[in-house]
């Protein structure tokens, strides 16, 4: 009874704390401007099933893809056992589903144990890749500090979860051999049926019960800790990858969205539309310079970023030594959304009035923006269909059209297009050759 009450209190606190964190993320995403997402629902479901659920784009690089698949499938299937842990925790039962499912229960737990072993191997491999082998995309400047600790923290939590599973199952199997009523027979599990007696068989019954309970609590407390930590981690992508792939653009990669303000001005210049006499004389803001002028979709993409670095590894500008890193762009947008969102959530400003004198240009330099070749390599490489190029182009538009700034070698071209309608300054009309 005491254990059930303690479980309910801890579970309630964990869920409430996590809900607060996820609510913060939702509020930060809605700092962005509205954006209407339209398109074929069947194609969107295809993206969700193949890209988010099926990990399709991960398999362009087989080694990390297979390792990631071990952890991903183990995570999904282990939720079955997690449901039973919740039931047992609330009602004080022990392996609630075992009597009902019989041999199928033995198969499911055995499958989970095999996946847990594979996940353990994959976790060790990922720790090695990040901390020993020095894979290039994990050594970039933007991953120093918290991002590196975050990745290692999650991998260590994975190991703790697996230790909890095998302490729980191994202790349970050793106890079953002693004929205790509470620890009823569940059949032979693939790993713990031999690992449990081998490790714990020599312990007395009271100690064995302690080992089994230790594993049970270690596993569920780690799950609760992961749940609370998730809104602050790059591993938020395990949730946001699904809506992000659903809302991904279905248009051809590289297709740029026209700006209505520019279209209207061009139509007026061509006599296709009359200017609005009541319109204000001030020029509109073009592009985006902060999270408040990006769309909610851009910000959701930033929170969906896995920080895997495939975009940066594929970026020709980054490969040739330039400062541009598409991954850093997404991380900067997310960090800026956290910064702005915290001030607004504290009631120190409203979304409409917010102005702290800073912008995304304080995090993403013009040098980075100008290095982009708009080749779409980053968009193609992303395993969850994030589009860093869209943010880069919006910031470029703001720099050039609103700030009237940009690289010195670009400005003569812009002036020529504005004055002569061509990229080259010509003394004659652009179509004079036709005469």
- For 369, the token pair is 């923006």
pLDDT of residue 290: 95
* 288 and 215 share one domain: no
Nearest to 392 by CA among 234, 254, 247, 263: 254
> What is the end-to-end Cα distance of the chain in Å, rounded?
95
Task: Tell me what the pLDDT averaged over the chain comes to.
Answer: 89
CA separation for the pair 315, 326 (Å, rounded): 8
* 236 and 303 share one domain: no
Residue 90: give the domain boundaries: 2-30+61-246
Asked whether residue 432 is assigned to any structural domain, the reply reads no
* 225 and 296 share one domain: no
List phi, psi (to 5°) of 295.
-90, 165
* 138 and 184 share one domain: yes
Q: How many domains does the chain have?
A: 2
Q: pLDDT below 70 — which residues of the chain?
A: 269-270, 278-283, 421, 425-435
β-sheet bridge partners, residue 295:
33
* 301 and 383 share one domain: yes
* 366 and 310 share one domain: yes
- Whole-Å CA distances, 130 to 100, 126, 162, 398: 44, 6, 20, 37
pLDDT of residue 3: 84
CA separation for the pair 105, 116 (Å, rounded): 16
Asked whether residue 47 is assigned to any structural domain, the reply reads no
Torsion 342-348-352-354 (CA) sign: negative
* 99 and 160 share one domain: yes
Nearest to 306 by CA among 159, 145, 137, 156: 137
pLDDT digits (tens, 9 = 90+) for 114-140: 999 999 999 999 999 999 998 888 989
* CATH at residue 348: 1.10.1060
Asked whether residue 255 is assigned to any structural domain, the reply reads no
* 267 and 199 share one domain: no
* 264 and 214 share one domain: no
- Whole-Å CA distances, 278 to 3, 260, 270, 316, 404: 70, 18, 20, 47, 26
* 240 and 297 share one domain: no
Residues in the chain: 435
List phi, psi (to 5°) of 408.
-60, -35
Asked whether residue 36 is assigned to any structural domain, the reply reads no
Asked whether residue 252 is assigned to any structural domain, the reply reads no
Torsion 234-240-242-246 (CA) sign: negative
pLDDT digits (tens, 9 = 90+) for 362-417: 999 999 999 999 999 999 999 999 999 999 999 999 998 888 888 877 878 877 77
pLDDT of residue 427: 64
* CATH at residue 20: 1.20.950
Asked whether residue 430 is assigned to any structural domain, the reply reads no
Nearest to 379 by CA among 324, 302, 311: 311
* 118 and 205 share one domain: yes
Residues 428, 434, 435: CA angle, nearest 5 degrees: 80
Please check whether residue 35 is in contact with residue 296, taking contact to mean a CB–CB distance below 8 angstroms: yes
- Which residues, including other chains, have CB under 8 Å from residue 273's CB and lie 6 or more apart? 264, 267
Asked whether residue 415 is assigned to any structural domain, the reply reads no
* 151 and 265 share one domain: no
CA separation for the pair 235, 253 (Å, rounded): 26
Please check whether residue 198 is in contact with residue 173, taking contact to mean a CB–CB distance below 8 angstroms: no
Asked whether residue 54 is assigned to any structural domain, the reply reads no
């Amino acid at each position: 009874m005491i254990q059930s009450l303690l479980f309910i209190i801890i579970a309630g606190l964990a869920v409430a704390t996590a809900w607060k964190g996820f609510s913060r993320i939702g509020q930060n995403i809605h700092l962005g401007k509205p954006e209407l997402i339209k398109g074929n629902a069947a194609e969107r479901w295809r993206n969700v099933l193949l890209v988010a659920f099926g990990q399709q784009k991960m398999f362009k690089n087989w080694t990390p893809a297979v390792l990631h698949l071990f952890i991903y499938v183990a995570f999904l299937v282990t939720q079955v056992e997690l449901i039973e842990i919740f039931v047992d925790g609330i009602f004080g039962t022990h392996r609630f589903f075992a009597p009902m499912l019989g041999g199928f229960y033995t198969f499911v737990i055995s499958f989970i144990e095999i996946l847990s072993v594979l996940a353990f191997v994959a976790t060790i491999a990922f720790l090695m890749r990040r901390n020993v082998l020095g894979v290039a995309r994990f050594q970039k400047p933007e991953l120093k500090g918290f991002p590196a600790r975050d990745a290692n923290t999650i991998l260590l939590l994975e190991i703790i979860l697996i230790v909890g599973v095998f302490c729980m199952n191994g202790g349970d199997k050793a106890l079953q051999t002693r004929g205790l009523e509470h620890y009823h027979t569940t059949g032979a599990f693939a790993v713990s049926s031999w690992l449990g007696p081998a490790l714990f068989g020599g312990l007395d019954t009271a100690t064995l019960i302690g080992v089994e309970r230790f594993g049970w609590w270690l596993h569920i407390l780690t799950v609760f800790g992961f749940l609370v930590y998730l809104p602050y981690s790059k591993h938020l992508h395990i949730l946001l990858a699904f809506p992000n792939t659903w809302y991904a653009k279905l248009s051809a990669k590289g297709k740029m969205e026209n700006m209505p303000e520019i279209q209207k001005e061009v139509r007026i210049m061509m006599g296709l539309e009359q200017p609005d006499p009541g319109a204000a004389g001030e020029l509109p803001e073009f592009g985006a310079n902060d999270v408040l002028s990006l769309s909610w979709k851009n910000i959701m993409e930033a929170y969906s970023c896995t920080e895997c670095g495939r975009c940066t590894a594929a970026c020709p500008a980054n490969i040739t030594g330039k400062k541009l890193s598409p991954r850093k762009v997404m991380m900067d947008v997310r960090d800026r959304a956290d910064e702005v969102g915290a001030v607004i959530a504290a009631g120190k400003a409203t979304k409409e009035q917010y102005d702290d004198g800073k912008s995304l240009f304080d995090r993403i330099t013009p040098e980075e923006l100008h290095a982009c070749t708009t080749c779409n390599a980053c968009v193609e490489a992303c395993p969850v269909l994030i589009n860093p190029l869209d943010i880069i182009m919006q910031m470029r538009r703001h720099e050039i059209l609103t700030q009237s700034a940009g690289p010195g070698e670009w400005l003569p071209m812009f002036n020529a297009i504005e004055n002569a309608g061509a990229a080259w300054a010509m003394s004659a009309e652009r179509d004079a050759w036709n005469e």
